[in-house]
Amino acid sequence: MQLPDPFTPDLKVELLPEVSQHPRISPPMNKLIPEHVKKEVDLCLSRNEDSMDATVAFLKQQVMQTESMTGSFYNVSLVNALVFYIGLKGIESESGTGQKTSSRPGAKAASINLCALLLKELDPGGYHIV
């Protein structure tokens, strides 16, 4: 892949054909996040805002672990994968590409709210990795 020169006058990044391609994730998303966690996130994003607290508590429980050799009480790779997955779902629902998280408007805002609530719920050791 040859990258375009970023200093090209009048470069319109949104018109590049590579922008419409989904990024390749290695390992695949289905290996990064357990299926039951993805289902809970999908359900939360398709429901109303009032039910996010239960999902945040569930996600917090999923990312907690006993202290590892790195000194973290969080499964850092799972937290990072969750934030990436939630962001992708918000983008997909807003842009209409891929599978829609929900048919309701404002699903992108729901993704942002879910990440914000997760940040509020985690202690400083957890939210610095989000």
DSSP annotation string for 17-86: GGGGSPPP-SS-HHHHS-HHHHHHHHHHHHS-GGGHHHHHHHHHHHHB-S--TTS-SB-HHHHHHHHHHH
Q: How far apart are CA 109 and CA 35, in angstroms?
A: 23
Which pLDDT score, from 0 to 100, does residue 37 have?
92
pLDDT band at 118 (very low <50, low <70, confident <90, very high): confident
Q: Which two tokens stand for residue 65?
A: 């672990």
pLDDT band at 80 (very low <50, low <70, confident <90, very high): confident
pLDDT band at 12 (very low <50, low <70, confident <90, very high): confident
Highest mean pLDDT among 49-58, 67-76, 105-114: 49-58
* pTM listed for this prediction: 0.67
